[in-house]
Structures are given as structure tokens and as C-alpha cells.
């Protein structure tokens, strides 16, 4: 068995009424990385870990790895950051690309987190990104060590800045497409990984399942798909669909 494993928390696309939005956690040597953070992340985390026979909460994660700022991937960052500051008493570590980090506070979080009343009748106090988050930047063509994990990233073809990741631990490599239009060069970049997780939602600036189903059989055999629509027939897929609450060895 691999010393590097993935626990699926959500598998649905942005419009799913059946599944949580796509996210998962990675574990190696007792360290945990959360890949994206949709809302309500603590409930998603609790249900997913318990389905897998684990008893843990978000305080166990070493960092949040953020692929982009669409709500189905980042709507839970606010609640997670508040929880880390006011319940756990520490900042939320976030690993992401500089273009995403640049927009994370001003375009995504500031509207609900920047101002806070400290006392009735007094003006609110202003807060900043660094009051809540500890940001680590990862550029393309760089690698980053986070505990036992070695991370690299690459931009995808999507509506807003988005990055795919390759993450190595315990001698194995996971490739994650994040959200992207079908991109053969990205598939090629991911294909060196031992396990490839690829979105399959179709639609504008997303990857159709049919494009992945046409890939070589040896690549499909080491691939999982997620971010699929509610209408997707899991039983006829030629690529294994990721299931919520299930652990996969990388």
C-alpha cells in the first residue's frame, strides 16, 4: 500500500444537487493537505472523514491548497479562516499561485471579512489578509516543500486564473487538473503521475468526459474523474469516478 493517500470529500460540479463541490484531502506521514475549500467545509470534512472511518476535524490540515476562486472551490475559505483565527487561535496556511493570491482578499474575502465591530456604538476596526491567512506562493516552474509533500503547479485554460498541481510524497505522485478546458498539453504534463485526478464536467471552459474517455487505456487506468454533473452515469464510465468518503491510494 502507498504511504500517500487521497480522501475524497466532494465530487460534484458547480450546480450539483446530489454531491458536495469537488474537494479532497491528501495524507502522507500524518500530514494533511486540503485541496480547495467549498462551503460548508467543516460539514463536508466531517462527513467525508467519518464515511472513511476516520475521526478528525479541519484543525488537522497543515495547509489549504487553492486552485482558483470560483465559489464551488473557494466559498468555504471565509469560514475556514474565521474558524482558524477565532477557534483555533492561528492563521490558516494557504498555498496558491501569485495571481490567485493577489485576488483572494480584495476580490473574494474582503467584502465579508475586512470590517468588524468590536463594541456597540464604536466604529468598526479594519482587518487585513494577513490577520487571517499565511500565504505561501507557488510559481510555475518552481517546486515547494510542505512537510512530506513536494508541490508544483501549472496554469490551466479556465475563465479566471486557475492552476493544476502535481504533488509528490512517499515516492508517488498525484496529478490534479483542477478546472480546465480539455488541454492535451496539460494531460501530457499530468500523465507522468502515478494517479491522475481530472475534472469531467463538460460545458464552457471545462473538460467533457468524452475527451477523457478517448485517451489511451493505460492513462485512463490510472485516472479518477470528479467535478461531474448529476446526470453523469457512474456505472458506464470507462474511467473510475471518484466517490465521496472513499480513500484512494496514490
Three-point CA angle 81, 82, 88, nearest 5°? 90
Residue 71: C-alpha distances to residues 66, 84, 121 (Å): 12, 20, 34
Condensed to tens digits (0 to 9), the pLDDT of residues 197-216 reads 999 999 999 999 999 999 99
The residue written with cell numbers 505522485 in the block is 173
* Separate counts of helices (H) and strands (E) for the chain: 8, 16
Q: What is the CA radius of gyration of the chain?
A: 18
C-alpha 112/C-alpha 196 separation (Å) is 35
Looking at the DSSP bridge assignments, the partners of residue 35 are 24, 65
Question: Is the predicted pLDDT of residue 1 greater than 60, yes or no?
Answer: no
Q: List, in order of start, the domains of the chain with CATH numbers.
A: 4-112+126-249 (3.60.15.10)
pTM: 0.97
Question: Is the predicted pLDDT of residue 12 greater than 90, yes or no?
Answer: yes
C-alpha 187/C-alpha 216 separation (Å) is 11
Helix, strand, coil percentages in the chain from 3-state DSSP, rounded to 5 = 25, 30, 45
Condensed to tens digits (0 to 9), the pLDDT of residues 141-187 reads 999 999 999 999 999 999 999 999 999 999 999 999 999 999 999 99
Condensed to tens digits (0 to 9), the pLDDT of residues 115-132 reads 999 999 999 999 999 999
71 and 13 Cβ atoms separated by less than 8 Å: no
Amino acid at each position: 500500500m502507498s504511504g500517500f493517500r487521497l480522501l475524497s470529500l466532494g465530487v460534484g460540479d458547480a450546480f450539483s444537487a446530489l454531491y458536495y463541490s469537488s474537494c479532497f484531502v491528501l495524507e502522507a506521514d500524518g500530514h494533511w493537505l486540503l485541496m480547495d475549500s467549498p462551503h460548508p467545509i467543516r460539514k463536508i470534512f466531517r462527513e467525508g472523514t467519518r464515511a472513511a472511518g476516520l475521526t478528525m476535524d479541519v484543525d488537522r490540515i497543515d495547509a489549504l491548497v487553492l486552485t482558483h476562486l470560483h465559489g464551488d472551490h473557494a466559498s468555504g475559505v471565509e469560514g475556514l479562516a474565521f474558524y482558524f483565527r477565532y477557534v483555533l487561535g492561528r492563521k490558516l496556511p494557504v498555498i496558491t499561485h501569485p495571481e490567485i493570491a493577489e485576488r483572494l482578499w480584495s476580490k473574494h474575502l474582503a467584502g465579508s471579512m475586512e470590517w468588524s465591530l468590536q463594541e456597540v456604538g464604536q466604529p468598526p476596526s479594519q482587518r487585513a489578509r494577513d490577520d487571517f491567512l499565511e500565504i505561501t506562493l507557488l510559481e510555475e516552474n518552481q517546486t515547494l516543500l510542505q512537510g512530506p509533500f513536494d508541490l508544483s503547479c501549472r496554469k490551466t485554460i479556465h475563465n479566471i486564473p486557475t492552476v493544476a498541481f502535481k504533488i509528490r510524497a512517499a515516492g508517488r505522485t498525484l496529478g490534479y487538473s483542477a478546472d480546465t478546458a480539455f488541454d492535451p498539453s496539460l494531460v501530457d504534463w499530468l500523465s507522468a503521475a502515478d494517479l491522475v485526478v481530472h475534472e469531467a464536467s463538460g460545458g464552457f471552459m471545462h473538460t467533457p468526459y468524452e475527451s477523457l474517455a478517448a485517451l489511451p487505456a493505460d492513462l485512463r487506468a490510472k485516472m479518477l474523474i470528479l467535478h461531474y454533473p448529476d446526470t453523469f452515469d457512474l456505472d458506464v464510465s470507462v474511467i473510475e469516478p471518484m466517490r465521496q468518503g472513499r480513500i484512494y491510494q496514490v
